[in-house]
Amino acid sequence: MKTLNLEDNKLIELQTAHKLSYKNKDTIQSSTKCGCFYCLELYDTNILTPADFVAESDGSFTVFCPKCGIDAVIGNQYPSLSITFLKEMNDYYFHY
């Protein structure tokens, strides 16, 4: 059996956080802060407008960043939310 090393743990952390950027209306609305791992902005969730919540085919909603318009938003329900973590997410998902 393979044991996880720090690199494996980081990959799992990034993939777990990425899942929170889709169909995430409820989690974002229960957060006070959120951040976009595309444009690397952190902001209060109170700046979100109904236009930032885009309906999915199953009736759920995905939050799109009000700054850049990309669906790469996670909330502070994710404990690692910070500019540093957003940069790690950006490097992994947009600069591979």
Q: Structure tokens of 43?
A: 């902001």
| Domain encompassing residue 58 | 23-94
Count: domains in the chain: 1
Residue 54 lies in a domain: yes
Residue 59 lies in a domain: yes
37 close to 21: Cβ distance less than 8 angstroms: yes
For 12-96, strand residue ranges (E) read 33-36, 42-44, 53-55, 61-63, 73-75
Which pLDDT score, from 0 to 100, does residue 96 have? 64
Tens digit of pLDDT at every position of the chain (96 positions):
344 455 788 889 999 999 999 999 999 999 999 999 999 999 999 999 999 999 999 999 999 999 999 999 999 987 889 999 999 999 999 986
Residue 8 lies in a domain: no
| Burial 86-95, CB ≥16 within 10 A → b, else e | bebbbebbee
43 close to 86: Cβ distance less than 8 angstroms: no
Which pLDDT score, from 0 to 100, does residue 2 have? 43
